């Protein structure tokens, strides 16, 4: 048993690192996790990756992906985060794409996958509704079949990058019969369809990442249904279990810790403070535990196995860590973290956006299934009542 990388993996790491060093724009951009990059920064970067053939780093070769192992993907992400580049926007690449690969028709694959791979289509995800958060299956947005179209009415909320997106994949209700999960379908459509309206939600970091999206008699061709009617819930669940390694955010967390340590090291007061040092140590140990837990999952996946029980806590622990780290930035920043939405001269760049990131990162334990919901699911497995 060892955690050593193979010579091939080490060579791969070198290659990625060199490329990142040559290609990542080093201006600070506030592109750290929880504080999304600007639209042009995000997609310029994705186009650069696409040109290199690395944008689809998580896709299998048959769909034009890299076909990398789980370990290689993790190395790539680690080097990407280390270089300070933003993560790829997940909605098309990591969420819709695997769904289409598994459930899509040939026609759908041909139509959508290349446009994702070439950063032509920007996607967003229509899941949550005002009345359906943790209880997602109670969603009410309807899609009523009418000839060769669905007529969609309803409202989605918390829709990240809806204001940037060309297209949306949506969970909609096609039936009210039987169990509520059974009436849900998975539908794709254009954001510029008639009847789609996007309203911004400004979050407590003072920025606009999220939106409400309203649908009024939106007409969607029936061929935009993925899978079958009523299969939407199964598709959503498939997606949840499909990719678990990214969920802990280890790659970005490691970059955050390195940044935090470097910040303290150049802070004349904090670098001598045993309590600040101890806080870094505790963050580092917790991150090591997370990192090696993630490696266990990677090793299983490289062997073709599913993620083991170790992976179940990754989301909970990963988001707790991210929240603790952003909190540390604020506290280390002190007065330098007080300025709101203004770059003040002389402030360490690490502290510049500290409060906005701390504020926004509170969402990490809410979205994608709150940590309370995660624990409900795990409890069911452990206790089985």
> Residues 265-278, buried b or exposed e (16+ Cβ, 10 A)?
eebeebeeeeebee
Minimum gap (Å) between residue 227 Cβ and other proteins: 25
What sign results for the dihedral spanned by CA atoms 261, 263, 266, 271? negative
- Between 237 and 278, name the residue whose CB sits nearer to a copy of itself: 278
Nearer to a copy of itself, 8 or 135 (CB): 135
Handedness of CA 304, 307, 308, 311 (dihedral sign): positive
Task: Give the shortest CB-135-to-a copy of itself separation in angstroms.
Answer: 17
Least gap, CB of 280 to other proteins (angstroms): 9
Nearer to other proteins, 151 or 276 (CB): 276
d(CA 130, CA 156): 7
Q: Is 243 a catalytic residue?
A: yes
Q: Could you give the CA distance from residue 281 to residue 2 in angstroms, rounded to a whole number?
A: 24
Is position 178 an interface residue for other proteins (rule: CB under 8 A)? no
Residues of this chain that interact with a copy of itself (CB under 8 A) are 274-275, 278
Part in contact with other proteins (CB under 8 A); list of ranges 20-28, 110-118, 165-173, 312-320: 312-320
Distance CA 176, CA 220 (A): 20
Give the whole-angstrom CA distance, residue 15 versus residue 31: 23
Residue 241 touches which of a copy of itself, other proteins, none (Cβ within 5-8 Å per kind): none
When binding is defined by CB under 8 A, the residue of 151, 198, 240, 299 that contacts other proteins is 299
Q: Spot the catalytic one: 243, 284, 310, 320.
A: 243
Is 274:104 a contact under the CB 8 Å cutoff?
no
When binding is defined by CB under 8 A, the residue of 7, 178, 304, 335 that contacts other proteins is: 335
Taking CA atoms, 263 is separated from 231, 283, 324, 361, in Å, by: 49, 14, 16, 20
Counting contacts by CB under 8 A, is residue 148 touching other proteins? no
Q: Supply 253's token pair.
A: 């967390």
> Does residue 362 bind other proteins (CB under 8 A)?
yes
Q: How far is the CB of 274 from a copy of itself (least distance, A)?
A: 5
Question: Is the separation of the CB atoms in 253 and 325 below 8 Å?
Answer: yes
Of residues 183 through 222, those in contact with other proteins by CB under 8 A are 201-204, 206, 210
Task: State the binding partner of 119 from a copy of itself, other proteins, none, CB within 5 to 8 A by kind.
Answer: none
Please give the positions annotated as active site: 243
């Amino acid at each position: 048993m060892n955690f050593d990388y193979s010579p091939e993996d080490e060579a791969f790491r070198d290659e990625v690192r060199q490329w990142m060093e040559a290609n990542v724009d080093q201006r600070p951009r506030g592109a750290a996790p929880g504080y999304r990059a600007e639209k042009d920064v995000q997609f310029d970067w994705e186009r650069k990756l696409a040109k290199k053939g690395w944008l689809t780093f998580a896709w299998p070769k048959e769909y034009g992906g890299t076909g990398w192992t789980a370990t290689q993907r993790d190395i790539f992400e680690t080097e990407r985060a280390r270089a300070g580049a933003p993560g790829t926007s997940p909605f098309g690449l990591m969420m819709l794409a695997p769904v289409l690969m598994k459930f899509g028709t040939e026609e759908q694959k041909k139509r959508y996958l290349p446009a994702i791979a070439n950063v032509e289509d920007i996607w967003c995800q229509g899941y949550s509704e005002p009345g359906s958060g943790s209880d997602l299956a109670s969603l009410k947005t309807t899609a009523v079949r009418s000839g060769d179209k669905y007529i969609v009415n309803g409202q989605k909320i918390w829709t990240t990058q809806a204001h940037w997106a060309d297209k949306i994949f949506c969970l909609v209700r096609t039936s009210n019969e039987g169990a509520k999960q059974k009436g849900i379908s998975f539908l794709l459509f254009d954001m510029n369809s008639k009847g789609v309206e996007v309203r911004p939600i400004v979050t407590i970091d003072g920025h606009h990442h999220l939106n409400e999206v309203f649908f009024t008699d939106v007409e969607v061709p029936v061929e935009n249904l993925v899978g079958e009617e009523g299969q939407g819930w199964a598709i959503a669940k498939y997606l949840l279990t499909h990719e678990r390694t990214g969920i802990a955010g280890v790659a970005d967390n490691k970059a955050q810790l390195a940044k935090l340590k470097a910040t303290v090291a150049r802070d004349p007061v904090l670098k001598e403070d045993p309590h600040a040092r101890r806080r870094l140590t505790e963050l580092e140990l917790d991150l090591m535990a997370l990192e090696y837990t993630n490696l266990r999952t990677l090793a299983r996946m490289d062997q073709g196995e599913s993620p083991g029980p170790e992976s179940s806590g990754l989301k909970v622990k990963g988001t707790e860590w991210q929240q603790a780290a952003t909190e540390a930035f604020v506290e280390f920043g002190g007065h330098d973290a007080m300025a709101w939405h203004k770059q003040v001269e002389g402030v360490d760049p690490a502290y510049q956006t500290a409060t906005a990131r701390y504020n926004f990162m509170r969402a990490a334990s809410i979205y994608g299934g709150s940590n309370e919901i995660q624990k409900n699911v795990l409890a069911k497995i452990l206790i089985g009542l």
